[in-house]
Structure 1
Amino acid sequence: MSLISRCCAALLLAMLLMGPALAQAPAASASAASDASSQEMPGPTVAELRARFAKLPATADNNEDLRTLLAQINAIAAQVDAFIDARSAPLADLNARLGELGAPPTTPGNTEDANITRQRAALTKQRNALDSDVRLAKLLAIDARQRGTDLVNQRRKLFEAQLTERAPSPLAGAFWLDIRDAWPDDIARLRALWDEMRRGAIVASEPGHRVPVLLTLVAALLIAVAGNLLAESAMLRLAKRWLPPGRLRRSLLVLAVVGVNVVLVGASAQWLHSVLDANGALGEQTRKVAQAVVASSIFIAFVVGLGRALLSVRRPSWRLPPMSNDMARRLAPYPWLIGLIGVLVWAPAQVNAVIDASFAAVLATHVLTALALTGLIAAIVLRLGPEHAPPPIPHDETTADAPVVPVERPVWVGVLLSAVMVVIVVIWVLVAIGYVAMASFLAGQLTWGGIVAAASYVMFKFADDLCTAVVSSKSPFGARLQKSFGFAPQTLDQAAVLLSGVSRVAVFFYMLIALMAPLGSGPGEVVQRSGQFGSGFKIGEFELVPGAIFSAVGVAVAGFIALRVLKRWLAQRYLPSTTLEPGMQSSITTLLGYVGGVLVVAFSLSALGIGINRIAWVASALSVGIGFGLQAIVQNFISGLILLAERPVKVGDWVVLGTSEGDVRRINVRATEIQLGDRSTLIVPNSEFITKIVRNMTLANAEGRVLIRLPMPLSTDAKKVRALMLAACNTHTEVLPTPSPSVTLEGVEGGALIFQAIAFVGSPRLAGGVRSDLMFEILDALRTAELPLSVPTMMVTSGAATPMATPAESPPPPAQT
């Protein structure tokens, strides 16, 4: 597999990852009239495709013939797929129309309208013909794919046989003797190619062809050289002006530089090739050489553009890899050297294929390829050794006397470079012992791996920068999402990380396809293999389709966003305009969230291809676990649904549960949150509200009660005390006039009169504060009126140093609410 072909695969890989592929699917509709025949579909028929397929040979003798035959079979398979797609919709439409007409009557004596009978017969005839074509096409598709698989296996075996073949070593005399013996024949073949090129030059220099050829040559050179420089400068200015500062601007500039270089150079080279061919300057052999030159120009543009964009010698702040300026300057010539040496080692192989050179010339080309590529890679590895850089210093100091310290680098980088050097040594050993074909292949794979790794690194960075710049809470678009849909910043940041991880997995998948392609595969087979993977693969009995996975993710994201928008609209716009109390509004919103979440998950699983029967099977399998280990969770879940439906406790209620009391702040699917008086939160399982006694202070009546009991001496003027306590209750702003406050004389306890005042406030939450205020006012009023409270009787005993309260009197009980 040549470096130019691999470069084309890398370019195609970048194009697949930079944007969605455009797929064309032929579509046709069935006739609307019941008595009309089916419309003719465009494209070849099944019989024509079958005839073309039958004419193709089942095998080939060499690698080039196998490649051509495989391309023809793939083209037929693509046309068959298009044929099936174009007729699937009309066939489904005909089946639906026949289903609407129903089956013909079978009971004797039952008849139907003649028009319906004729319409059913016509539709049945059309359906049978279309169904027959689709079935034959599917059989042809299976045969084509089987033939293609056999050819790929045959090509792989042929390549492996050639790869493991041992030839004379370049260190032995037999290698050079073979070249000397084959030299006259190879020179004769080269002279024929040279003569054809001279005849083409003579034709191009004729008066009728000279001007367009020269103008095209000059214009192509200007576009390839000056056009690239101007385009890079323009893209840099546009990036500074239109793109916000950040990592996304750097990665986008790298992609733009590589893309523009490839497009301009490839377009100019192809333009020059077409002009030379149109003016008769290309013969049979020179046309193949010219096509190879176009491919080599694309290779040079891709490698040089990628290397220059990654190193960014003139713009260090735009550099993607963590690399010092000195290291970037040392590596600056190597992108050009990779492109140049790649073309130099690739051109002889193309010339050998064009002129059908001798086996000795092919071996010499393999040796040249292996030694040149490994020498270049070894030089790059040595340049990538541990670098030294000055430590960061303040801006007011100079770097002249700054100490030089080694810059730490990851351990895996050193291990990888050491492994590359080991492979290089192995390649040299293979060349020395005569396995030159394998050595050439390993050298090409090593170079190809470096190019793919560099392109994948750019795509990794671009995917991460794009997700961070678009979805992150710190980005402008993320701030707009946060404002529009009410997303939390942590949610957006998590979504950005998740999307970045998914996109990186996709990039890694295509990188593995390019790196781990089977021996002898080309870019077309790599893309075909990725397409087959995209059509689906099985894990056990379940078939996973990458397109269905993305559809399921899209359905889930869109569904949860729509659910969040609906909940926000209900909570902020619609429900506040109704007469429902806030607790009921919160319950409705929570229930909608649960039901909507279940529906979104169900739709996502359906988009993934998991039917209701599979979900039921999983649920039945989980029922055993639910019965043993998840009883409490299920019990709390059902209790939460009961709380939301029957609403014995709702959001905003004041509840007493055991020794704890507080406000119900939130009813979740598993537990309920209660805010206590000290502002802490008590999380109570929902089953506690269903199976135990709960006191709801605000269920039927939201009012709170204040109770005050005071002991007074027996000689106290009871009516005066009553008047003072009623006055204190009536003058407090929080005490409700209805029911009105009351003061009663409860009786005599422990030699004291017990007065009890009862007042009502708007909420139980106010009872404690109001009771304290009333106590202050009542005590001040009693002190002013010279009405003392009753005190406990003290008893003094001999030997006692301190008084002790008698059990005759006890302090008044606390107020109750």
Structure 2
Amino acid sequence: MLLKLRTLPAFLCLVFLLAFGSLAAAQDTESFLEGQREMLSGIENSVAGLETEIGHQSTDDAELVDIRVELERLGREVFDASLAFRPRLSEINTRLEQLGEPRKEGEPPEPEEVTRERTRLLDEKASFNVLIGDAERLSVRIKTVIEEIAELRRDLFTRTLSRRYDISAAVSTDVLGEFTQELGRVYTRVSAWLSFTVKYRLKPLLLATALASIAALALLFGGRRLFDDFVEPDRSEQNPTYLSRLATALFSTLIPSVSYGTFLVLSYLFLDYFNLLRSDIAPLLWSLFSVIILVYFVYRLARAILAPRRPNWRLLPVRSQAAQWLLVLAVVTAVATGFDHFMDQVYSVLSSQLSLTVATSLVATVVVGLLIMAIGAVRPLEDEEGKPRQWPLKFRYLLFFIGAAIIIAALLGYIGFARFLSQQVVVTGAIIATMYIGFLTAGAITSEGAFAHSWFARRLERHTAFDETALDQLGLISGMIINVIVVLIGVPLILLQWGFRLADLTAWSYRIAGNIQIGSLSFSIMGIVTGIVVFVVGYFVTRWFQGWLDGKVMARSRMDSGVRNSIRTGVGYVGLVIAGLIGVSAAGINLSNLALVAGALSLGIGFGLQNIVSNFVSGLILLAERPFKAGDWIVAGAVSGTVKKISVRATEIETFQRQSVILPNSELINAAVGNWTHRNKLGRMEIAVGVAYGSDVRRVHEILLEIAKSHPMVLKNPEPFVLFAGFGDSSLDFEIRVYLSDILTQLEVQNGIRFAIVDAFEAEGIEIPFPQRDIHVRSGFLKPEEPELPEDGETDDLEEETSAEPGAEKVVRRRRRRKTDPE
């Protein structure tokens, strides 16, 4: 009874907490559901409004693109909302599993609180499922509207290119007068705007121009300072490398063009910021600046490739005179295309007659077609005899075909198609040519040894400790980065020229940045790229910290080189692990979702990666326990040498024959390893020597001890010792035992002591014998081919003498000597 009274308050408290928690959870869930309903309802209303707006803007490509971007944004909001439901549903399902199934008939009834909680959770789950269904339906509706916009834009683009105009009115004599009149109207408007701005808004005008000039000059001079060797190449260099010519063409085009374009773009933006642009002047000024940038870029690109005045820096093998003509034709083609674009904008602002637009575009496109055919007719190459010859046949026919297609399309009235084709030839051709130079530069940089001999590598060598291998790897990375930059800049520019809008690219970038769902694992391409970038940055930061710690901190503490290497390696492993974890986190990958992968990896480790893991763990043990370090002289089995590097899998040992032996770390942990320089380099050295029987052994002992003590590299404490080792078969054996402060110098000490022994024994008349053996051969056992015995009855005996010098190969000598038979 007492026990029941004690448990009753606890039970009541549990029931109260369950009821209170259920009430709080219900209120929180209801507020969340209400917020999601309102958000989805607002998105649905926005989609309905955009659908209505599509019907009014079906002929305006720019407005359709803006509507599509807004729909893309709404679609992402719906997707994010559907993702927000999943944690709540998972929590509800988990709690339902904890509550279990309802009691069946015949079973004891469950508590009323449990039944009420299950009912509430089921209702919440049904509400969530309804909202998820609404979100999916709304997402499908948004995708359908986006597809409708894409279809409208395709039809609009097709109609623009396939529309045929009547050019008979465009070639009449009245068109010239109308053209002159429209130019007068443009002049009047621009002059009125300039006079008003100079008279009343001069200070903002000067400030806008000054700010744009400062930015452009900073970019120009900064680029020249960094790439001065390429922006203005050395005229005195007669045979520049292919990489130098490519880099010169690339940077001499980009840096001036970007600087000049920056000046014009910033000028327009600052003028707009200070409210200096009128609504009729702004589009004209922007169009004029665009044309100027285009013409200047084409000029710099053609000048860099053709190099009329610098034949040794020319990329194309053309004649100097032909290079000058090609440069002029390319620039005039760009001017004709730009003029057509600018006048089209003028006619749009002034609301001019359609015949003016048709006439201007007709003349401009025909001129562009003729110029392209003129480029094909130039004879830029030289034959074996030095005579001018034409372009290769396929390239020449391609130019003739493009030029003829533009002219025929324009004369047949397909002005839109002719304008589109001529603009792509000039603008897209310039972009593709620049991209091609960029790709060639990247390929030249990645070739073996090319980057190590470049100007940038020479500058790196002055300030860093990169060797040729590191520079070659850096060149490979630089080439990959250049390729990526060329693609990221060139492809969007080409797409913009081919009718796509900036909003299209924005929408695609949103799609790329959006999450990709595979089961419970979600990730994005941009997230993965971000994770890779973060890991690369972490890797280089780790390398920099390793160098700083080793060169600035541990070097000042006069720490042992082996300890420094162990700390440096350990810091590198820790830094890479941290960089990897941060990179995975930045990529947006939840590590808890990789449980299956981790399980499979563990299974693989159990079966196929045992040795790798064993060597890895052994490497960590070697770095922590430090039985040996870099620079130690060790003996591991049949391998003896100096430890050069302890890595994560194996240890590199350099033998005294300069052979590098890569020994797995597990063998060094599981087997006996001798370390001559474990705590210090103090060591004992032995030299064996033998003297002939009959020598004065005490005198020999004195001589050997005196030689050992007199050597300058032999330690006085512990003092040298000479051991009378024993009686050998052919000699009396002695052994000199000395201690050295550096055991690595033992070869030098051995040579010195042995030379001294030979000199001292020769002076004292002490013989150093070699092993010998006497063999007696009876006459009855002589072979028939042996020579006959002498007449005095003596026999020839064979004596086999074996001499062995310390450290040398054994040499066997045989000689015959006469010996009297005792019988």
Q: Give the TM interval when normalised to the shorter protein.
A: 0.5 to 0.7
AA at the equivalent of 2:255? L
- Picking from 301, 304, 320, the partner of 1:310 is 301
Tell whether 2:528 aligns with 1:532: no
Task: Please show how residues 393-792 of structure 1 align to structure 2 within 5 Å.
Answer: 404=386, 418-427=397-406, 437-453=416-432, 456=435, 486-488=465-467, 490-492=469-471, 494-516=473-495, 521-529=499-507, 531-532=509-510, 535-536=513-514, 538=516, 545=524, 547-549=526-528, 551-575=530-554, 581-613=560-592, 617-618=596-597, 620-621=599-600, 632-699=611-678, 702-750=681-729, 752-792=731-771
AA at the equivalent of 1:156? R
Task: Show the counterpart of 1:343.
Answer: 339
Task: Show the counterpart of 2:62.
Answer: 67
CA positional deviation for 1:766: 2.8
Query: Given the superposition, is the C-alpha separation of residues 538 and 697 from structure 1 closer, same or farther in structure 2, using an over 3 Å criterion?
Result: same
Distance in 2 (CA, whole Å) between partners of 1:496 and 1:268 is 43
Secondary structure of the corresponding residue to residue 379 of structure 1: helix
Distance in 2 (CA, whole Å) between partners of 1:518 and 1:142 is 31
Contact 2:514 2:524 in 1 (8 A): yes
CA positional deviation for 1:438: 4.2
Decide which moves more: 475-484 or 763-772: 475-484
Query: Given the superposition, is the C-alpha separation of residues 799 and 478 from structure 1 closer, same or farther in structure 2, using an over 3 Å criterion?
Result: same
Task: Show the counterpart of 2:154.
Answer: 156
Decide which moves more: 669-678 or 457-466: 457-466
Contact 2:539 2:576 in 1 (8 A): yes
Query: Given the superposition, is the C-alpha separation of residues 665 and 405 from structure 1 closer, same or farther in structure 2, using an over 3 Å criterion?
Result: farther
CA positional deviation for 1:720: 1.6
CA positional deviation for 1:667: 1.8
Tell whether 2:232 aligns with 1:245: no
Query: Given the superposition, is the C-alpha separation of residues 160 and 762 from structure 1 closer, same or farther in structure 2, using an over 3 Å criterion?
Result: same
CA positional deviation for 1:55: 5.0
Contact 1:254 1:306 in 2 (8 A): yes
Secondary structure of the corresponding residue to residue 744 of structure 1: strand
Query: Given the superposition, is the C-alpha separation of residues 242 and 643 from structure 1 closer, same or farther in structure 2, using an over 3 Å criterion?
Result: closer
Tell whether 2:284 aligns with 1:293: yes
Query: Given the superposition, is the C-alpha separation of residues 454 and 270 from structure 1 closer, same or farther in structure 2, using an over 3 Å criterion?
Result: farther
Residues 306-359 of structure 1, C-alpha deviations (whole Å, 9 max, x = no match): 13333459995699973565345322364355334543476368748975967x
Tell whether 2:380 aligns with 1:386: yes
Decide which moves more: 370-379 or 342-351: 342-351
- Picking from 217, 241, 260, the partner of 2:263 is 260
User: Which structure has the larger Rg over C-alpha atoms?
Assistant: 2
Distance in 2 (CA, whole Å) between partners of 1:338 and 1:260 is 20
AA at the equivalent of 1:256? S
Task: Show the counterpart of 2:324.
Answer: 329
CA positional deviation for 1:449: 1.8
Residues 15-68 of structure 1, C-alpha deviations (whole Å, 9 max, x = no match): xxxxxxxxxxxxxxxxxxxxxxxxxxxxxx999998777555243367544533
AA at the equivalent of 2:229? G
Contact 2:265 2:289 in 1 (8 A): yes
Task: Please show how residues 35-74 of structure 1 align to structure 2 within 5 Å.
Answer: 57-60=52-55, 64-65=59-60, 67-68=62-63, 70-71=65-66, 74=69
Contact 2:726 2:733 in 1 (8 A): yes
Distance in 2 (CA, whole Å) between partners of 1:376 and 1:730 is 97
CA positional deviation for 1:301: 0.9
Residues 556-614 of structure 1, C-alpha deviations (whole Å, 9 max, x = no match): 34322332233234434444566964433322322222232232233223323334346
The structure showing larger relative contact order (alpha-carbon pairs under 8 Å, at least 6 residues apart) is 1
AA at the equivalent of 2:580? V
Residues 382-412 of structure 1, C-alpha deviations (whole Å, 9 max, x = no match): 45x53459x9xxxxxxxxxxx8466999x8x
Decide which moves more: 449-458 or 581-590: 449-458
Secondary structure of the corresponding residue to residue 59 of structure 1: helix
Contact 1:792 1:805 in 2 (8 A): no
Distance in 2 (CA, whole Å) between partners of 1:337 and 1:780 is 95
Task: Show the counterpart of 1:103.
Answer: none
Distance in 2 (CA, whole Å) between partners of 1:763 and 1:199 is 93
* RMSD over aligned Cα atoms: 6.4
Distance in 1 (CA, whole Å) between partners of 2:455 and 2:593 is 42
Contact 2:69 2:504 in 1 (8 A): no
Query: Given the superposition, is the C-alpha separation of residues 203 and 779 from structure 1 closer, same or farther in structure 2, using an over 3 Å criterion?
Result: closer
Secondary structure of the corresponding residue to residue 654 of structure 2: strand
Contact 1:706 1:770 in 2 (8 A): no
Distance in 2 (CA, whole Å) between partners of 1:553 and 1:429 is 51
CA positional deviation for 1:462: 10
Q: TM-score of the superposition, structure 1-length normalised? A: 0.65
Secondary structure of the corresponding residue to residue 505 of structure 1: helix
Distance in 1 (CA, whole Å) between partners of 2:194 and 2:255 is 42
Equivalent pairs counted in the alignment come to: 697
Contact 2:362 2:411 in 1 (8 A): no
Distance in 1 (CA, whole Å) between partners of 2:788 and 2:607 is 65
Contact 2:438 2:482 in 1 (8 A): no
Distance in 1 (CA, whole Å) between partners of 2:216 and 2:680 is 76
Task: Show the counterpart of 2:32.
Answer: none
Secondary structure of the corresponding residue to residue 745 of structure 1: strand
Task: Show the counterpart of 1:23.
Answer: none
Q: Which segments of 5 or more consecutive residues in structure 1 lack a partner in the other structure? A: 1-44, 96-135, 278-286, 392-402
Distance in 1 (CA, whole Å) between partners of 2:328 and 2:219 is 19
Residues 511-558 of structure 1, C-alpha deviations (whole Å, 9 max, x = no match): 323434697x45333443454355347597787756545533442343
Contact 2:720 2:737 in 1 (8 A): yes
Query: Given the superposition, is the C-alpha separation of residues 664 and 447 from structure 1 closer, same or farther in structure 2, using an over 3 Å criterion?
Result: closer
Contact 1:712 1:752 in 2 (8 A): yes
Query: Given the superposition, is the C-alpha separation of residues 260 and 274 from structure 1 closer, same or farther in structure 2, using an over 3 Å criterion?
Result: closer
Contact 2:723 2:736 in 1 (8 A): yes
AA at the equivalent of 2:767? P
